[in-house]
């Protein structure tokens, strides 16, 4: 499946819930967020139906996200259900790691092998400052047990925050990649955030690291928007950068997004969506939904500038990042 810019679209991010057990200050205002009503969230049966149609359209890679996906009961059944479709090449999960240890065995039995763990600091007090929860040790325990259980690759997503974790935390995450074969990705804070003044350009961090270490550029399979990964001599893992603002990756975007309430989104920066849930619950047939997906793809922007405002004001919690 190709769009009008000849980009090969083969990857879908599926948000299974907008609920989360963290209250990260840069993600949303605690008081002003309105959760999607439960009855408006796609059922697993509906997600499987739409995933099968996406597969027919050329999507063969899926990532389950949230909110926090492990808050939704029975997630392993969705994973095994998607993997049962002929032609699926990959499925992965993005989690904040709070519940990871509890569900590791179940997730592995379902066939999951790839994990992204969102973790912005390795300092306990800072973790509580960022998330509102004192749970760093639970996340680290789950991360280490996932590595011991054979999950690979494990990627650690670190959102850079000016004056919060852009200093000694960077060194701590590099140390983590020496300790464990994990792939750390430092991510620029997108302007969907309800707070300002925390943006750190990725170039600033990499230049600082280069002054201290000699870097070897490496290829990491399935590295997605992190186009450059590096390794320091003796490092078991690697580190890289996702820079959607200073070095946007629109030209190589290969993804669609399905929100928790069933809306198809072709661009993270655009507010334009197609309501597949409404069609599905109104009794639309497979071919009609497939035509709608193809039509939406035909309007996928070539860049965030083309998307309109360049922002998505709905935030990441309900659209799956």
To the question of pTM greater than 0.75 for the whole model, the response is: yes
Are the CB atoms for 129 and 164 separated by under 8 Å? yes
Residue indicated by tokens 């943006």:
199
Q: Which of 37, 50, 45 is nearest to 262 (CA)?
A: 50
- Please tell me whether residue 242 adopts helix, strand or coil conformation: strand
The predicted structure's pLDDT at residue 28: 66
Q: Strands of 61-65's sheet, edge to edge?
A: 215-218, 228-232, 238-242, 183-187, 154-159, 114-118, 90-95, 61-65, 11-15, 255-258, 263-265, 274-275
Tokens of 213: 């270490």
Residue indicated by tokens 């928007």:
225
Are the CB atoms for 265 and 315 separated by under 8 Å? no
Rounded to 10 degrees, the C-alpha dihedral 91/291/5/302 comes to: -80
The predicted structure's pLDDT at residue 181: 97
Are the CB atoms for 34 and 19 separated by under 8 Å? no
The predicted structure's pLDDT at residue 228: 77
The predicted structure's pLDDT at residue 318: 55
Q: Mean pLDDT in each 10-residue stretch from start to end of the chain (321 residues)?
A: 87 96 80 83 98 95 97 98 97 98 98 98 97 97 98 96 96 98 94 78 94 91 68 96 79 91 90 94 97 90 64 54 55
309 contact partners, CB below 8 Å, separation of at least 6: 269, 271
The predicted structure's pLDDT at residue 268: 83
Tell me the domains of the chain and their CATH numbers: 11-298 (3.20.20.70)
Are the CB atoms for 176 and 203 separated by under 8 Å? no
């Amino acid at each position: 499946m190709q769009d009008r810019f000849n980009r090969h679209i083969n990857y879908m991010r599926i948000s299974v819930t907008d609920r989360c057990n963290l209250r990260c200050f840069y993600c949303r205002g605690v008081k002003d967020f309105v959760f999607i009503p439960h009855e408006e969230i796609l059922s697993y049966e509906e997600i499987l139906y739409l995933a099968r149609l996406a597969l027919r359209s050329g999507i063969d890679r899926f990532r389950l996200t949230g909110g926090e996906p492990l808050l939704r009961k029975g997630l392993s059944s969705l994973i095994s259900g998607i993997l049962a479709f002929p032609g699926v090449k990959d499925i992965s999960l993005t989690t904040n790691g709070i519940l990871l240890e509890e569900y590791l065995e179940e997730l592995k039995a379902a066939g999951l092998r790839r994990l992204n763990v969102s973790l912005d600091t390795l300092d306990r007090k800072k973790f509580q400052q960022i998330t509102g929860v004192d749970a760093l040790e639970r996340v680290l325990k789950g991360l280490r047990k996932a590595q011991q259980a054979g999950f690979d690759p494990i990627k650690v997503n670190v959102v850079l925050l000016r004056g919060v974790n852009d200093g000694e935390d960077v060194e701590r995450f590099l140390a983590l990649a020496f300790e464990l074969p994990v792939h750390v990705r430092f991510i620029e804070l997108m302007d969907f955030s309800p707070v300002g003044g925390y943006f750190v350009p990725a170039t600033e961090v990499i230049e600082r690291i280069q002054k201290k270490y000699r870097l070897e550029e490496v290829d990491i399979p399935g590295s997605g928007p992190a186009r450059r990964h590096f390794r320091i001599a003796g490092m078991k893992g690697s580190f890289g950068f996702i820079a959607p603002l200073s070095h946007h990756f629109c030209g190589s975007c290969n993804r669609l997004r399905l929100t928790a309430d069933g809306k198809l989104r072709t661009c993270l920066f655009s507010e334009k969506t197609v309501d597949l849930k409404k069609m599905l619950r109104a009794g639309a047939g497979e071919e009609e939904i497939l035509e709608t997906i193809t039509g939406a793809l035909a309007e996928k922007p070539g860049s965030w500038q083309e998307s309109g405002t360049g922002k998505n004001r709905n935030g990441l919690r309900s659209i799956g990042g």
